[in-house]
Structure 1
């Protein structure tokens, strides 16, 4: 029986190949990519549209916004007050008031998170008739 030795450079090359081409697993605590909010809009009173916003994420803040008038002017529901931002897992209702009855707005929801895996996803815009 002969004693065979493995050359150190061959062992190092095999280990390097295993590390370089082996499966890459995400860390156990990796955060999922930020999702857009779940949001519904409804005309609830003359000149008022209400948004119900649910933040499905474990981080970030979600809101509702709209394009208003012939110039599609940008407005935030709840005037973008802290009370109009849905935190992680939170659902809230907020309004956009002072709209012209009988007109339409283009509304959508968005979320933002400034962590490294965050982002700013939006829902598709929907047209809402102002009562």
Structure 2
């Protein structure tokens, strides 16, 4: 038995059948990653970090462990101009270090979205000029 399907019924059937294919998928936030950072001795007692925030959100910083007790310090004293916003690259320095000593340094990024959290980069050893 062959039945005719009227135009309105065919349109409703097609819309119901293909609706899942036309609905846009939910877009997830891009993965949140640690900063890209390089450290270099730039003057006697000074180490400079070139810090890039590869994310579309959050802020990134550079930090160090200094001396035999690995005392914590932020490059640029964590002032706003020493922090890299989304997609930004900044240069920031740590001064007053003992020439010839070594520090451990790394970068980190804090996710300021509702998801929160943070990512830390690899720790490296830097010789202070």
TM-superposed deviation, 1:26:
6.3
Which runs of 5 or more structure 1 residues have no equivalent in the other structure?
2-24
Superposed, 1:45-124 pairs within 5 Å as 45-124=43-122
CA contact (8 A) 1:33 1:118 kept: no
SS in 1 for 2:61: strand
Q: CA deviation at 1:33?
A: 2.6
Q: Which residue of 1 aligns with 2:26?
A: 27
* TM-score, scaled relative to structure 2: 0.79
Tell me, in whole angstroms, the C-alpha distance in 2 between the residues paired with 1:86 and 1:115: 16
Q: Return closer, same or farther for 1:26/1:63 CA change in 2, 3 Å cut-off.
A: farther
CA RMSD in angstroms, aligned pairs only: 1.5
- Offset at residue 126 of structure 1 (A): 0.2
Deviation at 1:115, TM superposition (A): 1.6
How far does residue 118 in structure 1 lie from its aligned partner after superposition? Answer: 3.5
Q: Report the 3-state secondary structure (helix = DSSP H, G, I; strand = E; otherwise coil) of the residue aligned with 1:121.
A: strand
After superposition, the Cα gap between the structure-2 partners of 1:70 and 1:88, relative to the gap in structure 1 and judged at 3 Å, is same
